[in-house]
Chains A and B, each alone.
Chain A
């Protein structure tokens, strides 16, 4: 067993256990922090799967931005009136869906697995920058516009609710 395998299994288990933690916890704050753990573990896995650029983006956008947003959302909405909102009326349907999806995806995983990659490319960041500015320029521009619209929309929604 190589060191890299140990790192991989560590991240693997961390991500899976964090997800289970989100499910079983009743505290929203705890859930948010489990999510952080999960996201960072995933970022590590991305690196191990040769997606270094996406790993950086994951850390910046998710572990940085989205979690901060969530934390603010939780702080604003989670009033401490003594009642924790996480009861499980729909436990049975949820578990059914969970099992179904898991079984299905496991089947697909075995079926469509790409196999062990042979020749990983080292200069990913430069290559992706070129692709963004050439082949996927339209999508890139559109996502930029989308971000702008979301920025304006979110601030408008948050502001109008106060008046």
Chain B
């Protein structure tokens, strides 16, 4: 392939910034989770872009680990979110100001 990696890296940076923006400005916890997924994917894209120049493909390897970790994170985060919602009847992060009831 002959695509300039700069485009991939630029998209990665854009996605990362977008995810960050979502995390910071959204009040809904689900949105925040989605933002985190975006960030993880941006990182993955970065791995892949660098991996394309690497004969050993180490970046892709770590991309796999990263995807698995992201899945695990999503599962646990959603389970916790479920509990929080049961307790507060809301997913508004601004109301989550108590760690212990």
Determine direct contact between A and B, CB below 8 Å.
yes
Name B's interface SS.
Answer: helix
User: What residue in chain B is nearest A74 (Cβ atoms)?
Assistant: B30
Nearest CB on B from A100, distance (A): 8
CA of A102 to CA of B30 in the docked complex: distance in angstroms? Answer: 24
B68: chain A residues at CB < 8 Å are: 61, 143, 146-147
A49, B20: Cβ atoms under 8 Å? no
Please tell me which one of the listed residues B3, B10, B20 contacts residue A109 in the complex, with CB atoms under 8 A apart. Answer: B10
Residues of chain B in range 10-58 having any CB-CB distance to chain A below 8 Å: 10-22, 24-31, 33-35, 37-38, 41, 44-45, 48-57
Name A's interface SS.
Answer: helix
User: What residue in chain B is nearest A31 (Cβ atoms)?
Assistant: B34
Nearest CB on A from B55, distance (A): 6
B4: chain A residues at CB < 8 Å are: 113, 116
A22, B22: Cβ atoms under 8 Å? yes
A116, B5: Cβ atoms under 8 Å? yes
A153: chain B residues at CB < 8 Å are: 76, 79
B38, A51: Cβ atoms under 8 Å? no
Q: With contacts A113-B9, A161-B82, A161-B83 known, is A154 near B76, CB below 8 A?
A: yes
Q: With contacts A19-B38, A106-B10, A121-B57 known, is A150 near B22, CB below 8 A?
A: no
User: What residue in chain A is nearest B75 (Cβ atoms)?
Assistant: A154
A35, B82: Cβ atoms under 8 Å? no
User: What residue in chain B is nearest A146 (Cβ atoms)?
Assistant: B72
A73, B82: Cβ atoms under 8 Å? yes
Nearest CB on B from A44, distance (A): 11
Please tell me which one of the listed residues B21, B75, B90 contacts residue A150 in the complex, with CB atoms under 8 A apart. Answer: B75
Any B CB within 8 A of the CB of A95? yes
Q: With contacts A8-B3, A90-B25 known, is A77 near B30, CB below 8 A?
A: yes
Q: Most B CB atoms within 10 A — which of A78, A85, A101?
A: A85
